[in-house]
Amino acid sequence: METKQKERIRRLMELLKKTDRIHLKDAARMLEVSVMTIRRDLSQDDDPLPLTLLGGYIVMVNKPAAAAQMPK
């Protein structure tokens, strides 16, 4: 059985497959939890997540940034 926290993280990862980033407030609204709950989920220490908070947005860590993809 999946914990509520793992279910939220799984749903966030599914959403991030469709878009590059999700604003923290939008994610909280979609998951029907508080912003602080999302912050706690992302700051867990027991298992490193491929998600991080960057400037108020949730992004995938392993996705290359658009700037890194541009030729020099």
* Rounded-to-integer distance, Cα 57 and Cα 54, Å: 5
Predicted confidence (pLDDT) at residue 67 exceeds the cutoff of 50: no
Query: What is the extent of the structural domain holding 28?
Result: 4-65
Is 25 among the domain residues?
yes
Is 38 among the domain residues?
yes
pLDDT of residue 1: 59
Confidence class for position 46, pLDDT limits 50, 70, 90: confident
| Residue 4 · residue 47 · CB < 8 Å | no
Separation in Å, CA 29 to CA 1, 12, 48: 24, 12, 24
Predicted confidence (pLDDT) at residue 56 exceeds the cutoff of 70: yes
Predicted confidence (pLDDT) at residue 68 exceeds the cutoff of 50: no
Is 20 among the domain residues?
yes
Partnered with residue 60 across adjacent β-strands are: 51
Q: Find how far residue 63's CA is from the centre of its chain.
A: 12
**Tell me, what CATH number does 28's domain have?**
1.10.10.10
Q: Tell me: the pLDDT tens digits for 20-38? A: 999 999 999 999 999 999 9
Overall domain count for the chain: 1
pLDDT of residue 62: 78
